[in-house]
Amino acid sequence: MSFQYLNPRASPKFKDRYTTKADESRLFYEKGRKGDIGVVGLPFSKSSISFSMASEAPKTIRKALGAFSTYDGSRDRDFSEVVWLDYGDVQTHPTDLEETLHRLKQSVTDMIDTEACSRYIVLGGDHGISFPSISAFQKKYGRVGVIQWDAHHDLRNLDDGGRTNGTPFRSLIEAGVLKGEDLVQIGIRDFSNAKAYSDYAKEQGVRFYTMGDVERQGLDAVVAKEIERLKDKVDIIYLSVDMDVVDQAFAPGCPAVGPGGMTSRELLSSVATASRHTLVKAMDIVEVDPSKDVRDITSRLAAHVMMRFMYQ
């Protein structure tokens, strides 16, 4: 029988013939297939020091891309030709943290080794995923510079609880993967950190900017200045976007929300500024908890962060 208005294989959603949605530019990775951006999900949040279901974020962020078109009106350009290859999500171990970290690093390495794309996006997960992800990029490309958008230093000690979402950058520094001077932290928020970790950052040569610094100097200016400083020192630049850098009014779906953060426009503008540089090779987006979100506000903002990276 031929159905006039039914299709068991397709969604009944409306389709405008002149509009391409960002999720329509996705192809699933197959051997020999090429794309512009490689995307992998690291759905892990068991290392979070607060309750978190950030492991659900990769699928909600991908879904959110279906709400936005590929046309940028400010530049009068359609980016529908930009293809992102989806490598899927890593199968994590149900109980073994170290095994999961190994799987995350191996999977990011596997994606890079296909050489099917020129740039990459890693969807977390909590911020603990940055340790294996950045380690994989360092092994492949050499010296890595990191620009981190975050309310927190994530330089906690490893004695109180081991590797958590509060320790990725201390883990990277102490493992010799990342030099302190090659780490830039932007958006560090008042009453969200301990003095010991601010002191540790200074001792290691980390460049960090509080929200007060951002207000005085300008966010885009800070990003441009630090990329200029890093470009002659590192082989690639990796962007790490912790969504809790955004004020809780604009990103309610984070485990560690708080007032006094960036606006969504500030985050998007600064990510776009960074992403235009040729040395910027990869980005992760972390700390989106769909169970705490309201009308997918935070997942949709994370999808826009992806698009600012993809569409340059």
As a whole number, mean pLDDT of residues 4-12 equals 80
Separation of alpha carbons 263 and 49, rounded Å: 25
- Is 242 a known ligand-binding residue? yes
Is the model's pTM score more than 0.85? yes
**Residue 38: partners with Cβ closer than 8 Å, 6 or more residues away:** 29, 84, 85, 87, 111, 112, 114, 116, 117, 119, 120, 121
- The H or E element containing residue 106 is helix 97-113
- What digits encode the pLDDT tens for the residues 261-297? 999 999 999 999 999 999 999 999 999 999 999 999 9
Token readout for 278 is 């040729």
Is residue 1 predicted with pLDDT exceeding 70?
no
In the prediction, which pLDDT does 161 show?
Answer: 87
Q: Is 244 annotated as a binding residue?
A: yes
Q: Which of 77-86, 118-127, 158-167 comes out lowest in average pLDDT?
A: 158-167
Mean pLDDT of 160-175: 94
223, 186 contact by CB (below 8 A): yes
Q: pLDDT category, 188, cuts 50, 70, 90? A: very high
Q: What is the pLDDT of residue 3?
A: 80
- What domains sit in the chain, N to C, each tagged with a CATH number? 22-310 (3.40.800.10)
Q: Is 296 annotated as a binding residue?
A: no
Q: What is the mean pLDDT of residues 19-44?
A: 97
% of residues, the chain, pLDDT over 70: 99
Q: Is the pLDDT of residue 140 over 70?
A: yes
Per residue in 106-134, pLDDT (tens digit) is 999 999 999 999 999 999 999 999 999 99
The reply, when asked if residue 96 is annotated as ligand binding, is no
93 is in an annotated binding site: no
Which residue, chain included where needed, has tokens 């950045």?
134
304 is in an annotated binding site: no
